[in-house]
């Protein structure tokens, strides 16, 4: 990547991705999975592909996790190096291929899958499966095109995106290519909207679905170790279009019920006024 491209993409990320602390806060959704890996693997280690500014690496470091990152963009890696993170410049897939089998506990890639061709994405998944230890995790996060604003607008803001990547397709790929268990998570949604349980607005339906999704895939491993992850894989994460649409329909239903009640009251009042109307007509005669 040329220096001009490096500078462009770093400036783009700085403006549109959000602050370092905000990104770290959003990434904390993955910590329950990390804690399970730490309990399952002694000397657990992680590799982050396309690590960018290193928020995920910093979060792993804060969690006492041995982690390294790789990225083609030296401009982005300068932020990692200023934090003392273990990173190197290079191609993610080539680096994966150079690693020994069953050498890592976690392979992750945040907003890298949508930049790859289908062939490269499949290669990345296969190589991740090879280098992961039994019960190890692959985490891939991407823009969620089920969010209608993301799918029709903001996805195309990044000129390096290849094409929209539906969560169902990525989830299918990791299972098809050999992972034993997969989970789709909706992530990065508005906390107030996520915690709201009543009817919602039309704007929330259009823009409130989790703007990103992640597929977490687990390599086959010892049955007791796999079972220790059951709770985190069973939990539901994020806001779906169906959920928000149902909330909006609840709002419409409430309005319709109130309208019907008002119409019924007006009809009763109208009937009570009928004798007065008849008396008024006699008076006029």
pLDDT at residue 100 in the model: 97
Give the pTM.
0.85
* DSSP code, position 178: T
* Alpha carbons 85 and 74: distance in angstroms, whole number: 14
CA atoms within 13 A on the CB side of 51: 30
Please provide the size of the chain in residues.
Answer: 285
Between the CA of residue 195 and those of 60, 181, 188, 208, 239, what are the distances in Å?
27, 28, 13, 12, 10
* DSSP code, position 146: T
Q: How far is CA 183 from the centre of its chain?
A: 11
Smallest Cα–Cα separation from 173: which of 225, 250, 226, 117? 117
Low-confidence ranges of the chain (pLDDT < 70): 1-20, 276-285
CA atoms within 13 A on the CB side of 32: 12
pLDDT at residue 278 in the model: 60
Residue listed under structure tokens 């990434």: 27
pLDDT at residue 270 in the model: 79
pLDDT at residue 142 in the model: 97
pLDDT at residue 24 in the model: 83
């Amino acid at each position: 990547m040329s220096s001009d491209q490096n500078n462009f993409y770093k400036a783009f990320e700085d403006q549109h991705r959000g602050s370092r602390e905000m990104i770290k806060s959003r990434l904390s959704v993955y910590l329950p999975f990390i804690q399970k890996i730490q309990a399952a693997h002694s000397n657990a280690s992680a590799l982050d592909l396309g690590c960018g500014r290193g928020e995920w690496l910093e979060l792993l470091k804060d969690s006492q996790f041995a982690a390294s990152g790789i990225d083609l963009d030296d401009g982005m890696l300068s932020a990692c190096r200023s934090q003392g993170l273990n990173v190197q410049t290079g191609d993610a897939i080539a680096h994966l291929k150079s690693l020994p089998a069953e050498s890592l506990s976690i392979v992750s890639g945040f907003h890298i899958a949508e930049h790859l061709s289908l062939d490269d994405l499949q290669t990345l998944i296969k190589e991740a499966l090879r280098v992961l230890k039994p019960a190890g995790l692959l985490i891939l996060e991407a823009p969620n095109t089920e969010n209608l604003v993301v799918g029709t607008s903001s996805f195309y803001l990044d000129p390096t995106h290849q094409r929209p990547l539906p969560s169902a397709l990525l989830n299918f790929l990791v299972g098809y290519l050999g992972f034993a268990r997969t989970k789709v998570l909706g992530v990065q949604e508005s906390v107030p909207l996520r915690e709201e349980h009543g009817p919602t607005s039309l704007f929330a339906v259009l823009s409130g679905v989790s703007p990103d999704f992640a597929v977490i895939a687990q390599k086959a491993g010892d049955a007791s170790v796999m079972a220790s992850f059951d709770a985190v894989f069973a939990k539901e994460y994020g806001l779906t279009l169906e959920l928000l649409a149902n909330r909006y329909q609840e709002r419409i239903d409430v309005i319709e019920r109130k309208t019907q009640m008002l119409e019924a009251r007006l009809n009763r009042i109208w009937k009570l006024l009928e004798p007065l109307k008849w008396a008024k007509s006699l008076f006029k005669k």
